[in-house]
Amino acid sequence: MSQLILASSSIYRQQLLHKLRLDFSCMSPNIDEAALPFETAPELVLRLAEQKARAVAQHYPNGLIIGSDQVCVNQGTILGKPGTLANAKAQLLAASGQTLTFYTGLAVYDAANDDMRSLVEPFSVVFRTLSEAQVERYLAQEPALDCAGAFKCEGLGISLFERMDGRDPNCLVGLPLIALIELLSEFDIQVP
């Protein structure tokens, strides 16, 4: 089996991949993640997942590289990581009563054979109608400044939702494990 490499410095993606009990290494791909003009959210995440995998493959020419990228879309606008409490509050208030869609691009690249398999996994979250006080209480307890959408579904963020729609809630954390297991099987890696 080829060495498995996660093309990410995200601790969240690493934690998810550990669930599969596979041996892997990590390397940050260090690519420009800016959107291209007129690029849709699904096109953006697919391109970036593939670019991340190819960038890391330069250092692991015989590796099997996993690339992933995610964006959150609210009413046609791509949301970034808030970075500040003020931005997080604005993102959550704008999400109140809305359906946000997360698009996660996933790529598995066999560097030795130049074989790329990739897909985009959507997942939607319907937010409850939230008051400013609810948003402030949430952020006081769990300031998710490094998460697109400004929440952590694996934590208290679940309290913000009315409903979740999609086949794999791991998408919200940044690595769709169900789809990853399917792609890895195409490279003869079976989980479990």
| Percentage above 70 pLDDT, the chain | 99
pTM given for the model: 0.91
6-16 pLDDT, tens digit per residue, is 999 889 899 99
pLDDT category of residue 158 using cuts at 50, 70 and 90: very high
**Which long-range contacts does 97-101 make (Cβ < 8 Å, 24+ apart)?**
97/127, 97/128, 97/129, 97/130, 98/74, 98/126, 98/127, 99/124, 99/125, 99/126, 99/127, 100/72, 100/73, 100/74, 100/124, 100/125, 100/127, 100/149, 101/41, 101/72, 101/73, 101/125
CATH 3.30.200.20 fits 4-185, yes or no: no
Mean pLDDT of all residues belonging to the chain: 94
Q: Which of 69, 110, 114, 188 is catalytic?
A: 69
Percent of the chain with pLDDT over 90: 86
Could you state, in order of their start, the residue ranges of all structural domains in the chain? 4-185
Q: How high is the pLDDT of residue 147?
A: 86
Catalytic residue flag (residue 69): yes
Average of per-residue pLDDT across 169-174: 89
- Rounded Cα distance, 17 and 11, in Å: 10
What band does 1 get if pLDDT is binned at 50, 70 and 90?
A: low
